[in-house]
Amino acid sequence: MNKRIQFAAAAMLCAGALGACSALPVHGALNGMTLPMQSAQDRVHAAMAALDRGDEAQAKTLLEGVLQQEPGNATAHRLLDEINIDPRSQLGQRNHAYVVRNDDTMSELAQRFLGDPLLFYALARYNNMAPDHLAAGQSILIPDRGRPASPPPALASETPSAPPAPTVSADVAQRANRLRLQALEHLNAGDADGAVNLLHSALALDSSNAAIQRDLLRAQRIQASLHSP
């Protein structure tokens, strides 16, 4: 189960895939050419996508460009810290093993166990891997940060007495998908809050739709990055 963790506004969900963000132009930062200037927010989101792939060099170039535009950009400073600081110094030496479940993402695990989805790259470095290399059945180390983990979504195999998720009609599935597409448009326009609300509505209609679930995680990650102090 290759993961696509993954936060953007205009850069983020090019066809729903974070990796496409690396194609966005940066003003002379990557190839010496004079290209249209991106906003600081676009660069942060593209840097997150690069970190998701494990491309530290590109992410660092993008984040340094952000700090040239906005020296006080807190998200850029935090992500650079995750690149530059030893993750065991940042997250602590004590840890416990965790077996990755289907549909886990590094940002979701960082939120659940560390209380901050933006620590996705520090957690990946803690395990000597790229965030998008997370796979079901894999054992990783979770730092002990002195806070209880929020409960993960229940798996059907862990709740055998629970009734199976209802199968939705074709009409309901189409309505849910329309809401999902509207959410992606909002996300591409920089409206993460609107996207999250629409994806929650879509998931309420079709709770078993994996694409909606993944997009909601992405949108929540972008939302967290935009509202981080």
Q: Write down all domains in the chain, each with its CATH number in brackets.
A: 14-84 (no CATH), 88-150 (3.10.350.10), 165-227 (1.25.40.10)
Look at residue 228 in the predicted model and tell me its pLDDT. 65
Q: Measuring CA to CA, which residue among 51, 47, 63 is closest to residue 87?
A: 51
Look at residue 111 in the predicted model and tell me its pLDDT. 86
Alpha-carbon distance of 25 to 38, in angstroms, equals 7
Look at residue 129 in the predicted model and tell me its pLDDT. 94
Look at residue 5 in the predicted model and tell me its pLDDT. 39
Low-confidence spans in the chain with pLDDT less than 50: 1-36, 148, 154-165
Look at residue 93 in the predicted model and tell me its pLDDT. 92
Query: What pTM was estimated for this model as a whole?
Result: 0.55
Look at residue 30 in the predicted model and tell me its pLDDT. 45
Look at residue 96 in the predicted model and tell me its pLDDT. 94
pLDDT in tens, 89-146: 999 999 999 999 988 889 889 888 998 888 999 999 999 999 999 999 999 999 997 5
